[in-house]
Amino acid sequence: AQSVTQLGSHVSVSEGALVLLRCNYSSSVPPYLFWYVQYPNQGLQLLLKYTTGATLVKGINGFEAEFKKSETSFHLTKPSAHMSDAAEYFCAVRGKNDYKLSFGAGTTVTVRA
């Protein structure tokens, strides 16, 4: 079974600063990888996904993530934080032949003015 580790349950950044959210997965075969964002009392919205091909993936709202097979990582970044980025972020993994997603515990981002 896949497992996902998100380092840091809370991240606080200043407006305009770099946002870096870390995600590591356990898998012997490169899986499908996803980042989702959740605003309070709402469902999850897809930010970006990696399936095959280019390892640097660009998503919505200026976010991007890089798949590094050697490090089994899929860290999420945004060069300049905006107040609207305050939310909870989830990394998720699915095996190549698996219908189920495994989620990390989530990272809550707060943005300081």
Partner 1 sequence: DGGITQSPKYLFRKEGQNVTLSCEQNLNHDAMYWYRQDPGQGLRLIYYSQIVNDFQKGDIAEGYSVSREKKESFPLTVTSAQKNPTAFYLCASTPDGGVGQPQHFGDGTRLSIL
Per CB under 8 A, does 97 bind partner 1? yes
Per CB under 8 A, does 14 bind partner 1? no
What CA dihedral angle connects 82, 14, 64 and 62, to 10 degrees? 20
Q: How far is CA 62 from CA 41, 80, 82, in A?
A: 23, 9, 10
Cα separation, 12 vs 100, whole angstroms = 31
Binding part of the chain for partner 1, among 22-30, 63-71, 72-80, 91-99 by CB under 8 A, reads 91-99
Per CB under 8 A, does 12 bind partner 1? no
Cα separation, 113 vs 107, whole angstroms = 19
Binding part of the chain for partner 1, among 20-28, 34-42, 62-70, 71-79 by CB under 8 A, reads 34-42
Cα separation, 26 vs 20, whole angstroms = 20
For partner 1, the binding residue among 12, 14, 45, 55 (CB under 8 A) is 45
Return the number of other C-beta atoms located less than 10 Å from residue 66's C-beta.
15
Per CB under 8 A, does 42 bind partner 1? yes
Q: In whole angstroms, how close is the CB of 99 to partner 1 at the nearest point?
A: 6
Give the binding site for partner 1 (CB under 8 A): 4, 9, 32, 34, 36, 41-46, 49, 51, 90, 94, 96-101, 103-106
